[in-house]
Amino acid sequence: MSLWIGPMRVHLNGHKELTSHNEIVTVKPKGEVFIPLNVSMNHRAEVLVKEGDTVVVGTKLGIGPEPFAIPIYSPVSGVVGKVIQMMHPWLKPTDHLVIKDDGKYTFARSFDPIDIETADRETLVAMMKEAGLMGCGGAGFPTFMKYKNPQGIETLIINAVECEPYITADYRTMKEFLDDLVYGTRAMLKASTAKNAIIAIKKNKHELCTKLQALLVNTPEIKIFMTPDVYPMGWERTLVYEYSKKRYDRLPSEVGFIVNNATTAVSFAQALRQGKPIGEKIVTISGDGVKHPVNVRVPFGTKVSEIIEAIGGYSAEDVHIIAGGPMMGKTITTDQFVITSYANAITVLKAQKIDPLPCMRCGRCNDTCPACLLPVRINNAEEAKDLNLIEKLRADQCIECGLCSYICPSKIDVTEGVRRAKRALQLRKK
Which residue's CB is nearer to ligand SF4, number 209 or number 399? 399
- Residue 324 DSSP label: B
CB 100 within 8 A of CB 31: yes
Angle between helices 206-215 and 178-192 (to 10 degrees): 60
**Residue 84: half-sphere exposure toward Cβ, Cα within 13 Å:** 14
Nearest residue (CB) to ligand SF4, 171 versus 406 = 406
Residue 358: how many CA atoms within 13 Å on its side-chain side?
1
Residue placing its CB nearer to ligand SF4 in the complex, 276 or 422: 422
Total number of residues shown for the chain: 430
Binding status of residue 418 toward ligand SF4 by CB under 6 A: yes
Question: Does 362 contact ligand SF4 by CB under 6 A?
Answer: yes
Contact predicate 169/276, CB 8 Å? no
Indicate whether 346 belongs to the interface with ligand SF4 (CB under 6 A). Answer: no
- Between residues 48 and 362, which has the closer beta carbon with respect to ligand SF4? 362
Of these, 259, 365, 381, 393, which contacts ligand SF4 (CB under 6 A)? 365
Task: Report the relative pairing of strands 54-55 and 46-47 from DSSP bridges.
Answer: unpaired
Q: Which is nearer to ligand SF4, 130 or 382 (CB)?
A: 382
Q: Cα–Cα distance between 135 and 259 in angstroms, integer?
A: 10
> What is the nearest approach in angstroms of ligand SF4 to the Cβ of residue 246?
19
Q: Is 99 in the site for ligand SF4 (CB under 6 A)?
A: no
27 or 401: CB nearest ligand SF4? 401
Pairwise CA distance, residues 264 & 276, whole Å: 14
Of the candidate spans 24-32, 153-161, 177-185, 393-401, the one that interacts with ligand SF4 by CB under 6 A turns out to be 393-401
> Distance from CA of residue 9 to its chain's centroid?
23
Q: Which is nearer to ligand SF4, 285 or 401 (CB)?
A: 401
Q: How far apart are CA 403 and CA 9, in angstroms?
A: 11
* Residue number, 76 or 412, with CB nearest to ligand SF4: 412
Closest CA to 76 of 298, 303, 340, 352: 298
311 phi and psi angles, rounded to 5 deg:
-100, 10
Closer residue to ligand SF4 in complex, CB, 74/415: 415
| Closer residue to ligand SF4, CB minimum distance, 24 or 398 | 398
The CB-of-400 to ligand SF4 minimum distance in angstroms stands at: 5
Select the span of 79-87, 313-321, 338-346, 398-406 touching ligand SF4 (CB under 6 A): 398-406
Q: How far is the CB of 165 from ligand SF4 (least distance, A)?
A: 15
DSSP H helices, 87-120, are none
Task: Say how far apart CA 104 and CA 77 lie, in whole Å.
Answer: 6
Strand, coil or helix: what is 272? helix
360 binds ligand SF4 (CB under 6 A): yes
Beta-strand pair 60-63/71-73: antiparallel
Task: Give the one residue of 35, 80, 191, 369 binding ligand SF4; rule: CB under 6 A.
Answer: 369
CA distance 158 to 225: 10
Instruction: Answer yes or no whether residue 371 interacts with ligand SF4 by CB under 6 A.
Output: yes
**Residue from 21, 50, 245, 361 in contact with ligand SF4 (CB under 6 A):** 361
Candidate ranges 20-28, 287-295, 307-315, 402-410; the one touching ligand SF4 (CB under 6 A):
402-410
**H/E stretch holding 146:** helix 144-147
Side-by-side strand order, sheet with 280-286? 25-26, 294-299, 280-286, 345-350, 319-323, 330-332
Closest distance to ligand SF4 from the beta carbon of 14 (Å): 18
Which span (36-44, 92-100, 239-247, 394-402) binds ligand SF4, by CB under 6 A? Answer: 394-402
Residue 404 in the binding site for ligand SF4 (CB under 6 A): yes
What whole-number distance in Å separates Cα of residue 428 and Cα of residue 59?
42
> Minimum distance from CB of 13 to ligand SF4 (Å)?
18
Which 274-293 positions form the footprint of ligand SF4 (CB under 6 A)? none
Binds ligand SF4 by CB under 6 A, chosen from 304, 332, 343, 414: 414
Question: 201 vs 401, which CB is nearer to ligand SF4?
Answer: 401
The strand pair at 155-159 and 257-261 is best described as parallel
Residue 3 binds ligand SF4, judged by CB under 6 A: no
Site residues, ligand SF4 (CB under 6 A): 359-365, 369-371, 373, 375-376, 398-404, 407-410, 412, 414-415, 418
